[in-house]
Each structure stands twice: as C-alpha cells, then as structure tokens.
Chain A
Amino acid sequence: MKIETRIVLGTAFFLGLLLIVGWVALNEEGRMAEFTVQYEARSLERGATIYESNCSACHGAFGQGSGRAPALNNPRLFNGERLQEMKWAGGLYAYVENAISAGRPASVAYWPEAMPTWGQQYGGPLRTDQIRDVTRFVLNWESSALDEQNPPEVLQDFILPGIREEGDLQIMASGQPVGTDLAALELPVGDPVRGERLYNSNELGCSSCHMGGVIAPSTEGTVTRAEQRIATVAALANYTVEQYLIESILVPNAYLVPNEGSKVYATGGISIMQQNYSDRIDAQDLADLVAYLLTQG
C-alpha cells in the first residue's frame, strides 16, 4: 500500500508537470512577443536618459535643435527627404544609428561643429546596445514630427540657414561675376565667417584641394607664404597680400607656384587650380574669401 501511495502521488506530480509545461508551450509565442515589446520600451527609456546627458545640449531637449546642431524631430528626417539628400540607400533606422555611431564631420556649409563619434567601434564612448537605445529614442519622434496638426514650432534644419535653403550660392551664381580686371576691382567689406563657409562649401570646393596641403598648398600659412613670395619674387613686387590672393583666385596662371618634389602644381604654364572662379563668384564672395584667408596666418 505504501508503494501505491507514492506511485499515485509521483504520477500526479508528473501529470501536473506535463499540464503546466503544455500550458507554458501554448503561451510561449505571446510571452516572447510581450518580452520584445517591453524590452524595446525600456531600451527607449534608457535611450532618453543617454540623450538627456549627451545629446540634448546640442540637439535640444525635445530634439528641436539649439543653434549648434540640427533638429532631430524634423519631418524631413522621417519623410525620406533627408535620406535622399544624403544618397542613403538603407533604411532610416540604419541612417540614424550610423549618424550617432560614426558622428558627422564639421562642415561650414552644414554645421561648423563636428558631431562626435559616439559608437565604440568608431572610438566613441557608447556600446552598440546604447547606440540602439538612443536610436530608438530619436526614431520615437516620428509621430510628432509627421503630425501636420502639430507642426514643430522652431526647428533647425539639417543645413545651416542661409546656405542652401535660402539659396545663398544660387543667388551668388546668378549675380554679377567679378571679372579679372584687377586694377578696377573694388571689393566690399569681407566677412571671414561667411568666407570660411564658402571656402568649405561643396559649391566652390576650395578646401577639397587646399585642406591639409595634399593636392594644393595648404590653407594654413597662406599669409606667411604670400608675404615671402612678394618679398622674393621680382614679378610680385609692390603687391599687397590681399592683391596677391585676389589675383591667385581669379587668374591662377598669373603666378605659378613652383612644383615641390612629387607635388605638381602646374604643367605647361597652366595651374591645376580651377580657372573659372572669376565667373562663379561675385565681389562679396571674393571679399569674404579673402577676409577668411587673411585669418590663416
């Protein structure tokens, strides 16, 4: 009789076990889905915390931008315009994740301050899962950004106002060219900040050759070099630095910088510098560019 009681009890336990495990099996799909939803929600909460301490100073607490970096709750981010503009072939999640991980270079045409790299694989401080958390948080602005009933009041676009949006360069291109008559040239007062922006812009592309001195002489030390040449080259006697720079931009072949080692700056009396800046910029642009270059020691 003792054995029978044990066997009955043991069998009851095993049957109960089977019932519970079967019940768990039936609910497993739902449990896994629920876990995913909850985990993603908590990930978003962590992302909000990381955003508050690391990102909100530049992008604004509500993603509206703060003057140092563009707004993130921008409809153009969510409606695909921005992806097209950046020629991004992947999805929005990957775009945002990449921008956070890899950062953004400084660009006067867009934003003069670089966005740091945040992902650890790019040398930043945040782990992959933290990048994921922040990405989820940023993407959660989608519904409010696309809500036309509730347009964002103050949003800063991805491009600095006054460059592309207001067509600064387009106006410039349709304006009066400077011409090469240097004797009659009268320039307005130059703005070095705008000059730097032009210098680095895609439209003029000065920095693409002059930056770091890889292809053309370096931007840095422009004034020093100009002074040396004026002092040593007979043909440049009586030039001011300003005049030398203006001539170099508008008539690149007037004075050819000697080739240095493997660096070839001119062949057959023609400089490698683009020859058409006199047609592409107006007096104000030229004044601004020169004003900027004069700040380059």
Chain B
Amino acid sequence: MSVLPFPSFLDDIKEKGARTAVSDLIDETVTRVTAGLNVRDIRELLRGEPPSRRPNPRLTPHADAFWMHMRPSYYHAAVTGVYPTLRLGWLTTYFFAVEIITGMFLMVFYTPSPLSAYDNMLNLLSNVPFGQFMRDLHRLGAEGMVMLVMLHMLRTYITGSYKRPRQFTWATGVILLLTTLILSFSGYLLPWDQLAFWAVTIGTSMAEAAPPEIVGKNVNLLLRGAPDIGAGGLLRFYLLHVFALPLATIIFLGVHYYKVVLHGHSLPPGEDEIGTDTAKRVPLERRVYFLPDILSNELMWVGAATFILVVLVVWFYHAPLESHADPQVTPLHTTAPWYFLWLQGLLKLGDKVFFGLVIPTLLFLFLLVMPYIDVGKSRRYAHRRLGLSLSMLAVAGFVILSWMGSPEYGVETSGDQEIAQILAPMEGVGPLRSVPFDELIPGTYHTLALDDAAAAASLTTRFEAEGRNMEMFTISAVPEDAPHLLSVLESFDRMFDTLGRDLPNAWGVLYIQDWQTDLKRIEIYIEWDTPLLTQNGEIARDAQGNILLELDENGNPIRASSGKAIYVHARSNYFGGGH
C-alpha cells in the first residue's frame, strides 16, 4: 500500500498488470492534455469515424480547454462550405496571429528611436538571417489582413448577417476594422524611412485639423509628442503599434468571437424562414462537429494561407524601404497607404476639416449603428435590393475616391517635373535606373534623335550655332547594343504628348557621364518654350486653344529648361530586381 492518499502507479501495476497500467496512464494523460479526448477518441478523429462513446466526447474540449471554448463545438452544415462565409473572418484571425508572431521576431531587432530605427532596418536586412523574410511576411500579412477585414465586412453586409440578434457583433467588427487600419498605419512609421515620415506627418496633421484649434493642436501634440514628428512621436507610434492597438484588437476579437459562439454562425439568407434565426438550433443530422471536421479544414487553410504568403514573400513581394526619413525633403507624390487613398481622395475635394475629419467620423459612426437603423427582418437578397445596390454604389465610390487619392488625379506639379519624376523617382527605382549599367554609355541622347545618327548630327550642328555649352549638346544616337536605354528614351519622348501638354515644343535630353569608378551621372534635361501666363497664373491660349508663347524682343520664343541629375553605381543593381 502506498504512503500516498491515492493509489500509486506501482499499486496500479500490482492491481492491473504492467501493460494495462501503462496504457491507462497514457490514456489519462492524453485525456488531460486534450481536455476530454482519450487515445481512442483521437484515433477515431483522425480516421474520420463517428465517436464510439456517449455522450460525444468531442464536445468536452469546448467547455474545458482554454483554447477551444471560444469556438462553437459544432457548426450548421450550411455554413461549412466556402459559401456563405468564404472563411474570411477566420482567415483574418489567422493573419492577426501571423502578425503577432512575425512582429515579435522583428521587435527583437528594433529600437524605437530616430537615431537607430533605420540602422536597425538595414541590420535586419543585411545581417539577420530570415530578417527580410520576417519583415516581408509582417508587411504582406498586414496588407492582407486589412484586405480580408474589408472583404469580411462586405460579405457580412451582403448576406445580411449583421441583422438581429447580431447587431453588436457587427459593431465590434467595425471597431476591429478601425483597429486593423490604425495598426497597419501605425506600423508605417517604425522603419523611419521617407514613406514612414511623410505618411505619418500627413496622417497626424489631419488630426491637427480637428476643430476647435485647441483640441486639434493638443491631439496632434499627444500623437507626435512634439510639434513635429521626432523621437517622441516614434516612441508613441511604436507603443500604439506593439501594445495599445494589439491589446484593443485582442479584446474586441474576444468579444466578436464570443458573440459568434453565442448566436451561432448566421445561416445563408435563404436557409431560414424570414424573421427567424435557427443558427443555434442545429438538427442532429445537419451538425458538423468542430472536432474533427472544422479543425482539419482550418489546419488545411493554415497550410494554404501560409504557403501562399511564403511563396509571395520569397519570390514576388518585398516590403519597400525608402531612404532615411528627412524632414527637409518632401518626396514628390507622397501617398497614403492604399486603404487610406479614399481619404486622400476626399481631401482633394475641399475643406480639410469637413472632408478629412467630419465625413470619415460620420461614416464610421454610421457603420457602427447601421444594423440598428436597418431593422428590416428579411435577409433574402431579393428583399434587400435597395440596400445591396447602395452597398455596391458605396464600394464603387470607395474605388473612385481611392483613384482620386492617387497621384494621377489632380496633381499640380508641372509637366517637366512629372516626367523627371516618372523617369527617375525620388523614392523607388523607375525606368532610368533600371537600364543595365553597361548600357549607360556616356553621351547626350536627344528625344528628337533617338537612334538616328543623321538627326543627331544635325541637332549637334544646330546647338553649336545657338552657341550652347557643347560638352552637353553634342548629340549622339543611341548605340545598337543599348536597347533598354533606347526604350527609356522612347518613353521619355512619348511622355511629352501626355504630360507635356503645357510644355510647347518640348524636348528632352539624357546626358550620361562617367563620373567615378563604377559611378555614372545621368542628367535628365528638359527644354520647352515658355508659355504666356494670364493674370491668374494660368496658361494663356488663343481662340483655337493653342498655347500662346512668351516672346523676346526679336519675336523668338524664350526657352525654359529644367534638369535633374541622378547617379547610378554599377553594383546598386536596380535592374537585377531587389527593391
């Protein structure tokens, strides 16, 4: 007899024999670990057999295990297909998990300080094995999560799943949409590159616009920690990104999931009688148990989603890292992230406070209370034509506003700057830097001569007669072994037709020089006739719409010009991919 108050393992062996005692011990341990399933139950699960014990042991873990009790123990067969949920909500949760895991890896190599953040990024990319992999996963996962949350919301609206009794579930979902957007946006600032700095400068200056002035000023001060973004702002965004927002997301995710368990997954709109909700009353023959069917299905999706993410990250997508943040240099065409482009589009419509603050706030509040306003009982598509049409209109409006937010719409910079920006953007690569280094043969290439040697010679003669600095104006034809250079020059020429509408008689030159060992200097030079300006500063036109020119005392048009120089090093390897 054991000294313990209960029989020891040795007592068991004496009583049952060694073999049975060991198998019982294993069985008991497995049951405890799985919160209710023994070895036999697990074997049956894996084989896809019905449970042999009663009551169904597969339901116990949902009540007893921490990780499982927020999942329904069985689903209605009608919601287990790809339709109606498209797995979007679940996938979003999975992406959130991916963000947390990859984010923790990144945190190890990161210090939230303007003095070291950018160097941390470089270290991560150049010195940490799998550093780029983790960063790319984190960034792509974030973008994916934003997209999934939006699609999930759209799906919920379309199938009418927000209706009674799930109004509050919808409201928590709207809050989750907001936390996801801000989570993603707050991560922008952390690498401390130009994109980070200017995107967040724009974002916080919108908060600054909040009336009255004292509120906006102080909100801005709270967000940035100083009148301008610096060490204080970076630390605050870091803490928002790694602490406050994830915490809020986890809390609301808990409520959201809890409500799903409470009310059950809403059935497809055609499944129920109008006005009834039978999601919780699943007939025995239509039950699909979480263990094993749903879980194995979800594990497959984990595999599929991770596989797709990893394939994208390894071969197709790299998170951009622009140049070091510089308050002195505003990059041309700073845009919001794609999911905030609609907001940027709204801002182009007019007043900063009204379009940047009032409308988005009203929109958010409307989304929050929408299920309490739309109290129509039917979830059938046929009965919700107005609502569905309005939602499609809203989506279309969102897309149009997003397009208006892009640099293509309503840009006020001049054509020559636009062209130079396209050829060699301030951030990113652009076509000019993508020309292989060997093809950057020193010389002056003119858009009017391209690969035509005779035209090049006649241009040289003309410029010599004009008394120009001939070091730069001795025009060459593009050599045959430089097809990429030629195609860049051709697109340079074509851009005068589209972007150069305000540049009468414009032409451009690419002036390539050897500068240092392995280093070339390329100047983009653009010249045009100066248009005559009206008193409003607009370009004057005659009755036919032709641009009027500013003339000198001899009646000849005055030429205007602009130039932009870039340097290209042989090993920067823009043309070989990378980012």
What is the interface of chain A, defined by CB distance below 8 A to chain B?
Answer: 1-4, 6-7, 9-14, 16-17, 20-21, 23-25, 28-29, 31-32, 34-42, 44-46, 48-49, 52, 62, 125, 127-130, 137, 140-144
Shortest B60–chain A CB gap in Å is 20
B330 within 8 A of A: no
Interface pairs A-B: 9 shortest CB-CB: A13-B303, A10-B300, A41-B572, A41-B569, A48-B567, A3-B48, A41-B571, A45-B567, A10-B303
B310 in contact with A17 (CB, 8 Å): yes
Q: Which of B296, B304, B326, B515 contacts A13 (CB 8 A)?
A: B304
A44-B519, A48-B521 known; A21 and B310 CB under 8 Å?
A: yes
Shortest B120–chain A CB gap in Å is 12
A24 in contact with B296 (CB, 8 Å): no
A17 in contact with B303 (CB, 8 Å): yes
**Taking each of A4, A32, A40, A125, which has the highest tally of chain B beta carbons within 10 Å of its own beta carbon?**
A32
A2-B48, A140-B518 known; A16 and B307 CB under 8 Å?
A: yes
B323 in contact with A28 (CB, 8 Å): no
A13-B300, A24-B130 known; A35 and B572 CB under 8 Å?
A: no
What is the interface of chain B, defined by CB distance below 8 A to chain A?
Answer: 48, 115, 118-119, 122, 125-133, 292-293, 296-297, 299-300, 302-304, 306-307, 310-311, 314, 323-324, 326, 328, 515-519, 521, 565-573, 578
A35 in contact with B125 (CB, 8 Å): yes
**Taking each of B129, B310, B567, which has the highest tally of chain A beta carbons within 10 Å of its own beta carbon?**
B567
Q: Which of B292, B516, B573 contacts A48 (CB 8 A)?
A: B516
B516 in contact with A13 (CB, 8 Å): no
The interface residues of chain B lying within 8 Å CB-to-CB of A11 are 303
A9-B303, A17-B306 known; A141 and B48 CB under 8 Å?
A: no
Question: Please, how many angstroms separate the alpha-carbon atoms of A3 and B296 in the complex?
Answer: 7
Shortest B44–chain A CB gap in Å is 11
**Taking each of A6, A9, A11, A37, which has the highest tally of chain B beta carbons within 10 Å of its own beta carbon?**
A6
Q: Which of B128, B519, B572 contacts A140 (CB 8 A)?
A: B519
The interface residues of chain B lying within 8 Å CB-to-CB of A125 are 328
The interface residues of chain B lying within 8 Å CB-to-CB of A49 are 565-567
- Other than the given A38-B571, A38-B572, A49-B565, 15 more pairs (CB < 8 A) read A6-B299, A7-B300, A12-B303, A20-B307, A25-B130, A28-B130, A34-B573, A35-B125, A41-B573, A44-B572, A45-B567, A48-B516, A141-B516, A141-B517, A144-B517
A9-B300, A32-B126 known; A38 and B573 CB under 8 Å?
A: yes
Q: Residue of A at shortest CB range from B128?
A: A32
The interface residues of chain A lying within 8 Å CB-to-CB of B571 are 37-38, 40-41
The interface residues of chain B lying within 8 Å CB-to-CB of A9 are 300, 303-304
A24-B133, A41-B570, A49-B567 known; A140 and B516 CB under 8 Å?
A: yes
Question: Please, how many angstroms separate the alpha-carbon atoms of A1 and B49 in the complex?
Answer: 10
The interface residues of chain A lying within 8 Å CB-to-CB of B118 are 129
B306 in contact with A1 (CB, 8 Å): no
A44-B519, A45-B569 known; A38 and B300 CB under 8 Å?
A: no
Question: Please, how many angstroms separate the alpha-carbon atoms of A16 and B303 in the complex?
Answer: 9
A42 in contact with B569 (CB, 8 Å): yes
A7 in contact with B126 (CB, 8 Å): no
B324 in contact with A36 (CB, 8 Å): no
Q: Residue of B at shortest CB range from A53?
A: B565
Could you jot down 25 A-B contacts, CB within 8 Å?
A2-B293, A6-B299, A6-B300, A11-B303, A12-B303, A13-B300, A13-B303, A13-B306, A13-B307, A17-B307, A20-B307, A24-B133, A25-B129, A38-B572, A39-B122, A39-B125, A42-B569, A45-B567, A45-B568, A45-B569, A48-B516, A49-B566, A52-B565, A62-B515, A141-B516
The interface residues of chain B lying within 8 Å CB-to-CB of A32 are 125-129, 131
Question: Please, how many angstroms separate the alpha-carbon atoms of A44 and B518 in the complex?
Answer: 10
Shortest B323–chain A CB gap in Å is 7
Question: Please, how many angstroms separate the alpha-carbon atoms of A23 and B133 in the complex?
Answer: 12
The interface residues of chain A lying within 8 Å CB-to-CB of B311 are 20
A24-B314, A41-B571, A44-B569 known; A129 and B119 CB under 8 Å?
A: yes
Question: Please, how many angstroms separate the alpha-carbon atoms of A164 and B419 in the complex?
Answer: 52
